[in-house]
Amino acid sequence: MTSARDILQSGRRQMAALSIFLVIQTLGTVFFVGDVIADLREDPASAHFIFEAIVTAALVLGVIFGAFALRRTIELLRAQDQALAVARGALSDVIEAQFQAWALTPAERDVGLLALKGLDVAEIAELRGAAQGTVRAQLTRIYSKAGVSGRAQFAAYFVEDLLGEAIPSASPAANPAA
């Protein structure tokens, strides 16, 4: 599964490649514009001049369109960075509100947040300076208050909230193979 961070990194690589391409294309365009201007003085009606003028015009248009594409890519990356920051903040707000609704103790909040971050019982116990049995008991109380049976459902609860919709359940009528 591709993460948002991977997508942004790919966009940055695309932007760098587009920038390099645009610089090379601009240098070529400058050369051809100079050549066309020199040829214009010699024989403006020759087939050589007309061909170079058309190629130079295409290069100029390519540079212009490339600059617009680079600008659009930069704007898109900025928007994605902003959306990712908003999503992170939104998820944090959702988690905090739900922890309050479940009336988790401060210790349960810490353990719940560490569990959501993917730490296992041993890692949580080590970070909190607690026994693994204590952490297991706190996780059990958290899952009970949340009305879920384990870590996967606990994490899925927040993903579903962030997405804003529940996954539709398959009914026999909707699934003819059942």
The answer, yes or no, to whether residue 2 has pLDDT greater than 70, is: no
Q: Which of 168, 69, 128 is nearest to 137 (CA)?
A: 128
**What is d(CA 77, CA 87) in angstroms, rounded to the nearest whole number?**
15
| SS3 per residue for the chain | CCCHHHHHHHHHHHHHHHHHHHHHHHHHHHHHHHHHHHHHHHCCCCHHHHHHHHHHHHHHHHHHHHHHHHHHHHHHHHHHHHHHHHHHHHHHHHHHHHHHHCCCCHHHHHHHHHHHCCCCHHHHHHHHCCCHHHHHHHHHHHHHHHCCCCHHHHHHHHHHHHHCCCCCCCCCCCCCCC
Question: 46 pLDDT band (50/70/90 cuts)?
Answer: confident
Domain extents in the chain = 4-85, 102-163
Name which of 25-29, 43-47, 104-108, 143-147 the model is least confident about. 43-47
The Cα angle at residue 41 between residues 38 and 46, in degrees rounded to 5: 95
Higher pLDDT, 84 or 175: 84
Q: pLDDT for 130-157, tens place per residue?
A: 999 999 999 999 999 999 999 988 988 8
Report the pLDDT value the prediction gives residue 86, as an integer from 0 to 100: 64
Options 1.10.10.10, 1.10.287.370, 3.80.10.10, 3.40.50.880; CATH for 102-163 is: 1.10.10.10
Neighbours of 133 (CB within 10 A): 10
